[in-house]
Amino acid sequence: MALMQKLRDKTHIILWAVLILFILSMTFGGLVGGANITDLFSGKSKLAGAAGMINKKKVDGKQFSRVLSEQIDVLKAQGRNIDTRTMDMMSDRVWNSFVNEYLIQEKIEEMKFTASDNEISYNLRNNPPDFLRQQQVFLTDGKFDMSKYLNLLNNPQGDEWYPVEQQLRYSLPLNKINNYIYSLATVSDKEIEQDYIQSNIGVETEVLTFPGTMINVEDITITDKEIEKYYKDNKEDYFVDETRDLNYVSFKIAPKKSDSLSVLKLANDLIARINKGEDFKTVATEYTEDESGKETGGDLGWFEHKRMVKPFSDAAFAAKIGEITDPVLTQFGYHIIKVEEKRNKDGKEEVKARHILLKINAGPETISQIRSQANFFAYDVNEFGFEAAADTHNTEIKTVPNLKKDSKYISGIGLVAGAARFAFSNKPIGASSELFSIENQYVLFQLKAINEEHYKKIDDVKEQISNKLKEEKKFEEIKTIADNLYNEIKTTKNLQDATISNEKLSYAKNDTITLDKSIGNLGKNNTIIGTLLALEPGNISKPIKINNKYVIVKLLSKSNFDKENFDKEKINIKEKLLNAKKQYVYGQWLTALRDNADIIDNRDNMYR
């Protein structure tokens, strides 16, 4: 009963694993937005020890940290490097799962979805949870054995089934609300028919294009009065949310000469082992850091001299067949090369070889030294201030301007969601962050400035508005040209001849293709699809605006609707559309829950 004991000991892990897997499958976007803590509370103490608050319910900081720790442990077991970026990513993911779980549970309670003892008993006997179906104790010849399962279920040794019951008591109401939301998704007969038509009806077309380039915007004049009116009518478009400016200092993690010498020593050691009789292919499989060579024992196949970087090729082509080269240094690291064959092909010399790549990375000692340097800098920042510490350590202060609240990427640094969380936490200007570990560097931020929300001044957007109005006028002129030409040719319907009178127009005839494919240079466009479905063969459309051009489309031919084949495909099409609609409806419902919730993210302050 070791499995059952494990289940009993790990009840909370099971519940959160099920939850997180579910939430990850339903997540749409990044962190949930919400109210600012300073708008609702007068002091930090009211959320001390809490990761946040969701509709006035505190998210326990210890529980959040425990679940995050468990997820990080999973990544560590997979060999992942846990830097600040990874921590940010997992913290965001777990926080997102907490938010969704709280909101979904709130809805479950509101709708009074529960799991009765009879339902739990029935599901235990007839629908064993998937995580149990995968346990070795219930398998026979690698497959789930219902008789084994029922035998253990009917002969409990204590309370070992309690955590499974608890999991069902949680998951069954969750399934009920999921099914309820899914039931709101419907697919009409018309949608099924339209999907079939787009995938099966072939059309042959001609297209006359009026490109946006046929009118020069520089010839269009926009007055100040027009600009002022547009600005007034569309002022909300020029609203700028609050942003923050950050200073930062980074300490790059780069290999030193000692790291290079260490890799060179390893390369010479491997050469010695191979020369003593070890198989090159076996050693390459174990040591090479060329991912493509892991499975092939470093096999590179045949290559010409110019295909590889010069130091590598020079060494490979100079070596004799069967020879192992000395370590070869390139920008990728040290290479050990074994030449297996040589030949001349089409007058060009080729080599067939294997190699072992040993990259030169910063070793533990180097990383420790750089981390210590960064930590000393952080200490001096706390003691003497950011600028003084940067001067003392002779490090350059760089600036991140106009950082948005939802920013996760910082130019020159990379993905680091924690920077935005620090910038928008309740810290004063001049405050410094903790030290961030991000891939190949350590970074420390300082809040430099708070840029209040505002409207851009008209003088700052005058040129932008002018260009926009010029574009609008340009397409008004192009539409006038297209409408006039349509009136001229609507009787003859000859698109190709229209290009004779205007060389700026272009004509194309497109072979038969189904409506779900790109038609010529028009791409996949619902307007074009609807237009072609409405046309009869031989007729032309009125001018249609597609992206940066107007077009007139002529339908040459259209294949017939195959009623018999449609009846065969109808069920499969409905299932496909319904599954997509279910996910869409659920996503919209979940988004609405988040948008209407009062959510406070206090992760950066829960222990302060």
359-404 tens-digit pLDDT: 999 998 999 999 999 999 999 999 999 999 999 999 999 999 999 9
pLDDT above 60 (res 174):
yes
pTM for this prediction: 0.61
For residue 189, pLDDT over 50 is answered with yes
- Work out the percent of the chain whose per-residue pLDDT is above 90: 66
d(CA 142, CA 137): 10
Distances (CA, A) of 48 to 35, 600, 603: 17, 13, 10
Which of the two residues, 356 and 604, has the higher pLDDT score?
356
How far apart, in whole angstroms, are the C-alpha atoms of residue 326 and residue 108?
Answer: 68
Q: What is the pLDDT of residue 437?
A: 84
CA–CA gap between residue 496 and residue 485 (Å, rounded): 12
The residue count for the chain? 608
Q: Rounded mean pLDDT of 71-76?
A: 87
Q: What is the mean pLDDT of residues 450-467?
A: 96
CATH code of 242-254+364-452, in short, is 3.10.50
User: Which of 182-186, 444-448, 453-457, 517-521 has the lowest average pLDDT?
Assistant: 517-521
Per-residue pLDDT, 607: 57
CATH of 202-238+459-558, picked from 2.40.50, 1.10.20, 2.60.40, 3.10.50, is 3.10.50
pLDDT band at residue 38 under the 50/70/90 scheme: very low
- Output the CA–CA distances (angstroms, integers) from residue 594 to 32, 67, 198, 516, 590, in the order listed: 6, 21, 35, 34, 6
pLDDT value of position 80: 79
Q: What CA–CA distance (Å, rounded) separates 77 from 140? A: 28
pLDDT at 18 over 60: no
Q: Quick one: average pLDDT of 508-514?
A: 93
Fold match flag (202-238+459-558 vs 257-358):
yes
pLDDT of residue 197: 93
Instruction: Give the Cα separation of 462 and 472 in Å (integer).
Output: 15
Identify the CATH number of the domain defined by range 257-358.
Answer: 3.10.50.40
Over residues 274-293, the mean pLDDT reads: 92
Quote the distance between the C-alpha of residue 285 and its chain's center.
32
Q: Where are the chain's structural domains?
A: 2-183+593-605, 202-238+459-558, 242-254+364-452, 257-358
Among 26-35, 269-278, 540-549, name the one with the lowest average pLDDT. Answer: 26-35
Rounded Cα–Cα distance for residues 255 and 366 (Å): 7
Place of tokens 């996949």: 524
**What pLDDT is recorded for position 519?**
85
Phi and psi at residue 60, in whole multiples of 5°? -60, 125
* Residue 304 C-alpha from the chain's centroid: 38
**Separation CA 86–CA 81 (nearest Å):** 8
